[in-house]
Structure 1
Amino acid sequence: MSTSYKGSCLCSQVTFQVSGFKEHIANCHCSMCRKFHGAAFGTLSQVKDLIWLSGQERLKDYVAPNGTIRTFCSECGSSIGFRSKGNALPDIELSLAMFDTDIPVNIDAHIYSAYKSNWHEITDDLPQYKEGRE
């Protein structure tokens, strides 16, 4: 039996499952991630074997001026994920906050730290990259 990890949005209309996560996961401090997640940073991961269980028709996209795509639930507004310019929905990086149970991930860096909010102090010893990973 294979392991799967399920997630959902705030209203539980959008649900999904995955079988695993990308090895490298960072907290992103860019202004778009901060605004999209309403937090000091966003933490997203590429996933393995994504299956939408319900609510895929409720997914809506915001395409930023730089072409990046942020996907959210049209019912409750939950921040579902992020895609690079030109990537299709199967290539989405999911917000880790969407998962309903513990997941086997380790955050290994802070990215776009040059844009972090002035009210948040990074206090851990993880590597900090002023832009993306170098």
Structure 2
Amino acid sequence: MTSTISGGCLCGGVRYTVNGPLRDVIACHCEQCRRTSGHFVAATACRRKYFSLEQQKSLRWFSAVPGFRRGFCNVCGSSLFFEEIGKERISIAAGSLDKPQGLHIAAHLFTSEAGDYYTIDPQTPASPVGEHHVVLPE
């Protein structure tokens, strides 16, 4: 049985719970992720059926690409979620979790767009585009 996992933004205007397993973290180095976060994005994910918004008064969604959107707090600016609208997965910024969950970075994506001021761990699977084999747990 998975315990309830909680998280939220810096100011508390957005809170969520996950009542199911989280996927290990994927680090996305694409230009959009770097611009929305100020660095690469490290995100876990869960199936939508396990995800609940508990507080969303300051949650806003932004869509740069049709069919996809990013959730953020419009008060403190925390970048929180990424999803393909209507699909089963919701990605969650790993840094927004309240407590450590024992997750690790399982893959790096869009490494061809990575910033030049950091090094990607060569021991972790990496893709110059968005391909990966990290499974979303049931």
TM-score greater than 0.5 by the shorter chain = yes
Pair 1:42-2:41 in alignment: yes
Question: Matches of 1:95 and 1:25 in 2, distance apart?
Answer: 9
Residue matched to 2:92? 94
CA RMSD in angstroms comes to: 2.1
Aligned length: 129
Are the aligned partners of 1:83 and 1:89 in contact in 2 as well (CA < 8 Å)? yes
Once residues 95 and 131 of structure 2 are traced to their aligned partners in structure 1, the CA distance between those partners, rounded to angstroms, is 22
Q: Distance in 1 between matches of 2:87 and 2:79?
A: 14
* Secondary structure in 1 matching 2:123: coil
Rounded to whole Å, the distance in 2 between the matches of 1:132 and 1:90 is: 18
Gaps of 5+ in 2: 133-138
SS in 1 for 2:95: helix
What is the aligned partner in structure 1 of residue 57 from structure 2? 57
Q: How big is each residue's C-alpha offset from its partner over 1:1-46, in whole Å with a ceiling of 9 and x where there is no partner?
A: 7511110101011111112212x5311100111111111x101122
The residue that corresponds to 1:16 in the other structure is 16
**Deviation of residue 90 (structure 1)?**
7.3
* 1:112 matched residue in structure 2: 110
Q: Secondary structure at the match of 1:72?
A: strand
Question: Are the equivalent residues in 2 in contact too, given 1:25–1:44 (CA < 8 A)?
Answer: yes
CA distance in 1, matches of 2:87, 2:58: 13
Write the distance in 2 (CA, Å) between the matches of 1:88 and 1:76.
Answer: 27
Q: Which runs of 5+ in 1 are unaligned?
A: none
Tell me how far apart the structure 2 counterparts of residues 74 and 83 of structure 1 sit (CA, whole Å).
18
- 1:12 is matched by which residue type in structure 2? G
User: What is the rounded CA distance, in whole Å, between the counterparts of 1:26 and 1:8 in structure 2?
Assistant: 19
Identity of paired residues, percent?
Answer: 26
In the superposition, the TM-score normalised over structure 2's length comes to: 0.82
